[in-house]
Chain A
Amino acid sequence: MIQFDTVHKRFPNGTTAVHDLTLDMPEGGVTVLVGSSGCGKTTTLRMINRMVEPTSGTIKVGGKDVTRQDAAELRRSIGYVIQQSGLFPHRTVLDNIATVPLLLGHGRRKARARAAELLETVGLTAEAGKRYPHQLSGGQQQRVGVARALAADPPVLLMDEPFGAVDPVVRTQLQDELLRLQKELNKTIVFVTHDVDEAVRLGDRIAIFRTGGHLVQCAPPAELLARPADDFVADFLGAERGLKLLSLKTLAEVPQGPAPDGGAWTLVRDEAGQPTHWRSADALELPVRPLKDGDSLLAALDESLASPTGLVARVDADGVLTGVTSRDDIHRHAGRAHAEARVAA
């Protein structure tokens, strides 16, 4: 969908931001560009919609060379979300979202109707549409930024550290929302971040850049974590990259057995069958964090360490206990996940 062919960018001050980049970003996938600041990831992103012009090489979107198109029209056909949202402070939320449809000449009424629809898509109330950006929280503003980028239904979405300025809790929420939206909309997304965890969570493919604008490795997250191309990548992913790999695997395939009853520890349930806490023979009570099939192996490992028995309580979608899984089983599957990732790579 987006193809970089030996793209080079040198700024007038002589610094090379992007060095002979050749990279394909597949249609309907999330490609995350990561690297420390000054590695050229943002410049790479901004060359796609011609906010920055390449010094040499070609960039094609949907098979068409971007530099041969009218820049303004090209930009209207590509969604763009920036850090701290970059919303227009003098326009209501609804009018902010309607920006591109208005530029495309869709007419105010139609553009606003589309904007109202998108408010709901990104999880905001109709009432929020009448407000001005400064009246919203940072997380809400970021949602509006996403809605604005989606307004003209562009096939490509560029996101430049969109969740960089919100607190970790909101950040996780926004990431979840993006994944949910992406399942529905199937856009080609290019996402820039310096946060490895964010890259692993969101990316179908991760491209790691090194200072000087060199692309070091581009691979699916599991492959990247299991087989980093060199020490730079390994360092960048961090010492606990093995644990990060576990965050990509779910509990679904790990077997479960019946919950212990009458031993040193009992898993207490309420009338609905939902686990509430662990109780020991001498009436000591400890909390339990039940996990669903969709939760990650990393979460399971974490819970198995916290659990007094090493057992993880498993529940169905309604929170009703289905069984427990032992620390050993989790370990075994974690090891297998690593082996598989290495073989696949």
Chain B
Amino acid sequence: MTIDWSWISGHTDDLTTLTVSHLQAALSAVFFGLLISLPLAVVAHRVRPLRGFLLGLSNVLFTIPSIAIFVLLLPVSGLTRTTTVIGLTVYTLVVLLRNTVEGLDSVPAKTKEAAKAMGTRPLRTLLTVELPLALPVIMAGVRIATVMSISLVSVATYIGDGGLGQLFTDGFQRDFPTPVIVGVVLTLLLAVVADALLVALQYVLTPWRRRRA
């Protein structure tokens, strides 16, 4: 297996477009996943009877094969980016929901009680005390969801999307390994860089965890 370097230099524009498209699909999924998970997690955290149901549902959704999800969505949103993002979002829920609930659970009762006793109302307590303290656990979920989404985008090649995944089909069909290798390397790079940026983001967002006494 040799790499055809001239193919790479001849296709830098295409590779850039695919990489951006790939990243966009993955990040959109994480974004919408968070948008759905945060309120659901708050409900699951506060209303105990719903907790098992919501977490169970996210588990069930996760077990649906990815191709099946896309096929199920075709009549709704067709061969579009929307279908890709919806499919990926469904998969992020299992991690994001669970971690957000666990993050909220990890906030010490004493701290919540202090907030209440100082006269903080419930919504403000959630936004200024519970979510910040749950952040490390939530961010752990965001990191997993991001890396997972970046690797999953390629599956959407079946519906004509798939970002860097298109390089795999291209390479396989022409029995030409260079695009496959480039696709794998770029996907890996994206995942590593995205993860590192999230670690940096968490460092910025949680100043109280930096200097452990």
Contacts and interface: CB of A to CB of B under 8 A. Distances in A.
| Dominant secondary structure at the B interface | helix
B61 to A, nearest CB: 32
A73 interface: yes
Interface string A84-103: 10111111100000011001
B113 A75 contact: no
Given A86-B114, A132-B211, 19 more contacts: A51-B117, A74-B119, A75-B116, A75-B117, A76-B119, A80-B114, A80-B117, A82-B113, A86-B110, A86-B111, A88-B111, A89-B108, A91-B208, A99-B118, A100-B118, A100-B119, A132-B207, A135-B213, A148-B118
Nearest to A135: B213
B118 A103 contact: yes
Nearest to B121: A72
B212 interface: yes
Contacts of B139: none
Contacts of B129: 88, 90
A90 B119 contact: no
A106 interface: no
Interface residues of B, number: 22
Contacts of A75: 116-119
A152 to B, nearest CB: 9
A103 B125 CA distance: 11
A180 interface: no
A87 to B, nearest CB: 7
Nearest to B132: A90
B111 A76 contact: no
A87 B208 CA distance: 13
A201 to B, nearest CB: 25
Contacts, number: 63
Contacts of A331: none
A331 to B, nearest CB: 48
Contact of A90 (B206, B211, B212, B213): B206
Interface in A46-97: 49, 51, 72-77, 80, 82, 84, 86-92
B120 interface: yes
A72 B119 contact: yes
A76 B118 contact: yes
Interface of A: 49, 51, 72-77, 80, 82, 84, 86-92, 99-100, 103, 132, 134-135, 148
B115 interface: yes
A80 B206 contact: no
B155 interface: no
Given A132-B208, A135-B211, A135-B213, A89 B119 contact: no
Contacts of A86: 110-111, 113-114, 117
Contacts of B115: 88
B95 interface: no
Interface string B102-141: 0000001011011111111100100001001100000000
Contact of A89 (B111, B113, B117): B111
B119 A73 contact: yes
Interface in B27-59: none
Nearest to B129: A88
Q: Which 4 A-B pairs have the closest CB atoms?
A: A76-B119, A86-B114, A75-B119, A80-B117
A92 B208 CA distance: 8
A100 B120 CA distance: 8
A84 B212 contact: no
A135 B108 CA distance: 18
Contacts of B110: 82, 84, 86
B118 A90 contact: no
